[in-house]
Structure 1
Amino acid sequence: MISQPYNLYVERLDATRNMARYYAMSIEPNLFGDICLLRRWGRIGSKGQMMVHHFGRENEAVRLFLDLLRQKRKRGYRPRPSTPT
């Protein structure tokens, strides 16, 4: 069982380079009791790609989640800017 939810969605936007990318991650249990880290990425508006990592313990998944988050922050990914309503 997962102790707390882990969900992340970040974007990297650069109009001068025609760049509009997204990166999403979540940690979820599967039907067999394993912990899975789901990663999705691609150009905003496209289906993109997906990768699933399977772990026996939650702390291993969290460690990879945080490492990937650090890497994406270094590359310029940021949370989606909020739009006023």
Structure 2
Amino acid sequence: MDVARMLSLWLHRRDPTRNMDRFYRLYIMADLLGGWCLVREWGRHGAAGQVRRDPYANSAEASAACVRLAQKKLRRGYRPAFGASLPQELAALLCP
């Protein structure tokens, strides 16, 4: 997967009957030491969320991890936020 194509992915999950209004953001960035980081941000809309940075040796590993996490979140009911489109690898998960 091309890193530039998957630079940032915003997902959200809303269910008013369960008072659920969550977000999940994934993005890949270069670190200062020549490696790559997969950055995850998550929480409830309107509140301070949490951030986690996972280092990877190269962009391919970071991209693969990003796709795995996005697939997991899509299976749990998260959807692209703000009318964003998904890469082909992930869009297939939304089709019945």
- Band the TM-score falls in, shorter-chain normalisation: 0.7 to 0.9
Identity between Structure 1 and Structure 2 (%): 37
Gaps of 5+ in 1: none
Q: Note the C-alpha offset of 1:3.
A: 4.9
Q: Note the C-alpha offset of 1:81.
A: 4.5
Residue 38 of structure 2 is matched in structure 1 by 37
Partner SS for 1:36: strand
- Assess if the C-alpha contact under 8 Å between 2:3 and 2:63 holds in 1: no
Residue 20 of structure 2 is matched in structure 1 by 19
Gaps of 5+ in 2: 84-96
Q: Note the C-alpha offset of 1:30.
A: 1.1
For 2:35, give the aligned amino acid. Answer: D
- TM-score (norm. length: structure 2): 0.78
Q: Which has the larger radius of gyration?
A: 1
Which structure: greater helix fraction? 2
Residue 64 of structure 1 is matched in structure 2 by 65
- TM-score (norm. length: structure 1): 0.88
